[in-house]
Structure 1
Amino acid sequence: MVAQATPSAPTLTVVAAPNPVGQNDTSTFTVTVDPGLVGETVQLEHKALGLLWSLVDSTTLDGDLQARFAVRQGLLGNYQYRVKVAANANHTAGTSAVTTLNVVVDPTPVAVPGVYGCASATPAVARPGGGSWQCTFSDEFSGTALDTTYWHVAKQGLMTQPKVEKACFGDESTGNVKVDGGSLHLTASVKATATACPANPTKSSRKFGATVWHNVPDGTQPTLQQTYGYYEVRAKLPSLHGSTEGRAVTPPATPTYPTDTAKGLQETFYLWPTTDRYGFWPLSGEMDFAEFYSAAGNLNAPAMHQLSGTTTGGWKSPGCNIDPTTGGAVGGFNTYKFLWSSSRLTTWVNDNPTPCSDVAISGGPFNKGFYLILMQAFGNAETLNEYTLTPGDTPDVGTTEIDYVRVWQ
């Protein structure tokens, strides 16, 4: 008779962001269960009046063995939460440590500490409401290391893309994030065998991507979030995008992207909400002002995610074509520009006066603080842009080089 293995005790990790959080604003509790089972129930409990634990909500683990809860409190103070799972074939019953959510009047850390001198003249685009643009941040990446006072390297384990085989978040130690030669280098690489993710050894992949971002929403470090403004990112795409330009097309009924060159990579420069004020994605918004798939050559395909879904302006607009006829440098550096006002979201490529995309907005979710993210990822099977794992002798699949980032308000 073979003895059955005794289920292990689970590790339940709870991260609340933002924390502190404002009155009546939403904080997202992200729960990870290790080991866990897809679809198993996770319960969130709240300790009322410091006395008894009571059930707040329950949900199930997703494919990443994570669960998420939206938590909102209308009164100032400190609130205690914990999560629980029942015993199953994979683990015994478990209860997390207590997480304290701090609800305050103004949870926003100091926005943009100091004054920056952007290395270029005031933007040529008009400032909504009049007046002159003020530079709030610039980085020319002229040093030898990333300025971690304001930039933060994502290290939470696996990226959301691709769907079939998710990539690890690489960092400086893996060579996926590097400042060299006056540019920030974000690299996608493939290893011969699955390797542990740098910050989460329980996760592994052959694929490694890179993401850097501009905010720590827990109040412990400066944040570069702001509401409305003008952004410029000058960057060169990986060579996997090929030497031909993408051409604007009418999006098909199914998400099959135009095929100009080899498939495999995705790059996005985008703004992400500082808080989930309006609920989980996409309800609180996402502004992808420059987004690329290597299967679509060098075509920029911005997407503004909002309450009503996704608006994709790049597939139809000739202003998104990166080729000599529109002032673009195929295979070279191009400047991706984004104007965010209370009434419009407008993108341009280089000095082409024709907008790449132009979306009218009103009110939420694009009326609160967002921060900047730069991402080098792999494509995903849903867009028929999945990278075939063939590392060979050159494990670096492609690198996005970012010459500068400049932000005004």
Structure 2
Amino acid sequence: MACTRHRSMGVTMFRVMLLLATAAVAAALVAGTQLGLVDLPGKELVGSHPVLSRPQITVTTRPGELALRERGTVTVQAGAPALPGNRIELDTAGPHGLGFNKVSSAVLDENLQATLTVTGRDFLGSYKYWARMPATGTYQEGKSASFVIDIVASAAPVAPTCGGQAPLKADGSTWTCTFDDEFDGSTLDRRYWVPQVTRTSGFTTGTRQRYACAEDTPETIAVTGGNLELSLVELPATVRCGHGKRSKFAFGQVMHFQTFSQTYGKYEVRAKIPGLQVPGSQQSFWLWPKKNSYGAWPASGEIDFAELYSYTAGVNRPYLHYLPGETARGTNKNVTHARCPIDLDAFNTYGVEWAPGRITVLVNGEVCFTDDYSSVARAGQGKYSPFDKPFYLAMNQAMGDIGNEYDPAVVPDRLTTQVDYVRIWK
């Protein structure tokens, strides 16, 4: 018992002395005493970290609104301690306002200025942006004030003419031009034409063993010499396309996705396809539903008014898709068997006249085939379904698929389809 009591008293005394020592240290700190640290090596590191300054960033010009997928630019001015050559980026709020995504980046010039690219948006709405310089060892992170860019629908083409004189309908009345592009400039009009990109869509052409990725580059999509050029090219090296895909081949495709669509009308594309007469190449001009109103493909329809395969060179093989399940092979066909001759290695016009209950495909102004699809409409969908909803146009220069496989040993490393014009009436 005595030993236990002595140990308890010793512990108590130790605790009292520890409390007194702690109080003394606290008092010394309040009084400014350095507690002997003044003589310790490295004392300059204690309580003397320099405070890094933060570069000021001002957005000097920026767009207030952009059309769907239209690109724009933002100019910025940075201040010290930023230096020429430092990197600056444009950021935007992440999904649901959480976090942020980098939009583009640039380096500051000798005047500490930079121009940043605003990439096109796929959906209407208002989006927040700001410029930012990430922190480095010489300065803290700097950010500009945020600003908003409104993404709006593209304006309708100003008084499209579709080449002048309006064509006549079967009843003698004239068609009304609703869209045309003569491709007389030097750049793609991205207010209306949306490039297909595998990285965002996962879409490729070809076969599982050899396929081409859709790329938006000057090598695959260009406007020159009065034509839109869509190309299938062999790349110097294999590239990653996104969605776990990689390829040494790229192709060009443009479409009116979310920019222009209509129900019924007359479409005409004047184009020259490569004169290749061995398997490997395919060109398509087609109408795709704006929405899957009647279900997944093919229930909502597809109008391929031009499908051209190099293994059957000199022939247009248009297709219509609208029946689910097995291909129908009757008067009204899900897949047509029309084979319409074209002029090889020359410009041809490919067209379709789409009316309630009837689709007529034309080549060089002559009827290729007419399909009355009204009798295959399923109950409850309407007499003229599925072709009674808005569709939009798409065009590509693709790699051949099964039965028309691409062989790099015999196919040139570049194939280009030239489109002289696209004209649409209603």
- Secondary structure class of the residue paired with 2:278: coil
1:395 equivalent in structure 2? 413
Matches within 5 A, 1:119-268: 119-126=163-170, 131-157=173-199, 158-164=202-208, 165-173=210-218, 175-197=219-241, 200=242, 202-216=244-258, 223-240=259-276, 261-268=277-284
Per-residue CA deviations over 1:352-374 (Å, capped at 9, x if unaligned) read 3xx21211022111000000000
2:401 equivalent in structure 1? 380
Shift of 1:118: 1.4
- Secondary structure class of the residue paired with 1:263: coil
- Residue 407 in structure 1 maps to residue 407 in structure 2: no
2:313 equivalent in structure 1? 297
Indicate the percent of aligned positions where both proteins have the same amino acid.
Answer: 39
Matches within 5 A, 1:46-125: 112=156, 114-125=158-169
Count the aligned residue pairs. 257
Say if 1:159 and 1:167, in contact at 8 Å, map to a contact too.
Answer: no
Say if 1:186 and 1:400, in contact at 8 Å, map to a contact too.
Answer: yes
- Residue 366 in structure 1 maps to residue 403 in structure 2: no
Using the TM superposition, name which of 110-119 and 296-305 deviates more. Answer: 110-119
Per-residue CA deviations over 1:46-105 (Å, capped at 9, x if unaligned) read xxxxxxxxxxxxxxxxxxxxxxxxxxxxxxxxxxxxxxxxxxxxxxxxxxxxxxxxxxxx
Say if 1:269 and 1:375, in contact at 8 Å, map to a contact too.
Answer: yes
Taking the aligned partners of 1:391 and 1:190, their CA distance within structure 2 comes to 13
> Which 4+ stretches in 1 moved above 2 angstroms?
108-115, 124-127, 156-161, 163-166, 200-203, 307-317, 389-392
2:341 equivalent in structure 1? 321
Shift of 1:133: 1.3
Taking the aligned partners of 1:110 and 1:341, their CA distance within structure 2 comes to 26
Which letter does structure 2 place at the counterpart of 1:137?
F
CA gap of 1:113–1:144, structure 2 versus 1, over 3 A, is closer
Taking the aligned partners of 1:390 and 1:176, their CA distance within structure 2 comes to 21
For structure 1, the residue ranges without an aligned partner over 5 or more in a row are: 1-107, 217-222, 241-260, 323-328
- Secondary structure class of the residue paired with 1:230: strand
Taking the aligned partners of 2:239 and 2:269, their CA distance within structure 1 comes to 32
- Secondary structure class of the residue paired with 2:189: coil
Which letter does structure 2 place at the counterpart of 1:278?
Y
Matches within 5 A, 1:267-346: 267-308=283-324, 309=327, 311=333, 315-317=337-339, 320-322=340-342, 329-346=343-360
Taking the aligned partners of 2:184 and 2:158, their CA distance within structure 1 comes to 19
Q: State the TM-score, normalized to the length of structure 2.
A: 0.56
Shift of 1:194: 1.6
Which letter does structure 2 place at the counterpart of 1:299?
V
Which letter does structure 2 place at the counterpart of 1:387?
Y
2:115 equivalent in structure 1? none
Per-residue CA deviations over 1:136-192 (Å, capped at 9, x if unaligned) read 00000000000001111111334342122221102224x100000000000001125
- Secondary structure class of the residue paired with 1:356: strand
Shift of 1:109: 6.3
Which letter does structure 2 place at the counterpart of 1:227?
T
Higher helix share: 2
Say if 2:198 and 2:215, in contact at 8 Å, map to a contact too.
Answer: no
Taking the aligned partners of 1:377 and 1:230, their CA distance within structure 2 comes to 24
Taking the aligned partners of 1:144 and 1:391, their CA distance within structure 2 comes to 32
CA gap of 1:140–1:374, structure 2 versus 1, over 3 A, is same
Taking the aligned partners of 1:144 and 1:274, their CA distance within structure 2 comes to 29
Taking the aligned partners of 2:270 and 2:193, their CA distance within structure 1 comes to 17
Which entry has the higher C-alpha Rg, 1 or 2? Answer: 2
Which letter does structure 1 place at the counterpart of 2:269?
V
Taking the aligned partners of 2:226 and 2:416, their CA distance within structure 1 comes to 14
CA gap of 1:228–1:109, structure 2 versus 1, over 3 A, is farther
Say if 1:210 and 1:375, in contact at 8 Å, map to a contact too.
Answer: yes
Taking the aligned partners of 1:385 and 1:212, their CA distance within structure 2 comes to 22
Which letter does structure 1 place at the counterpart of 2:362?
W
- Secondary structure class of the residue paired with 1:295: helix
- Secondary structure class of the residue paired with 1:190: strand
Taking the aligned partners of 2:338 and 2:287, their CA distance within structure 1 comes to 22
Per-residue CA deviations over 1:274-294 (Å, capped at 9, x if unaligned) read 001111111111000011000
Taking the aligned partners of 2:288 and 2:280, their CA distance within structure 1 comes to 24
- Secondary structure class of the residue paired with 2:311: helix
Shift of 1:391: 8.7
Say if 1:118 and 1:135, in contact at 8 Å, map to a contact too.
Answer: yes
Q: State the TM-score, normalized to the length of structure 1.
A: 0.58
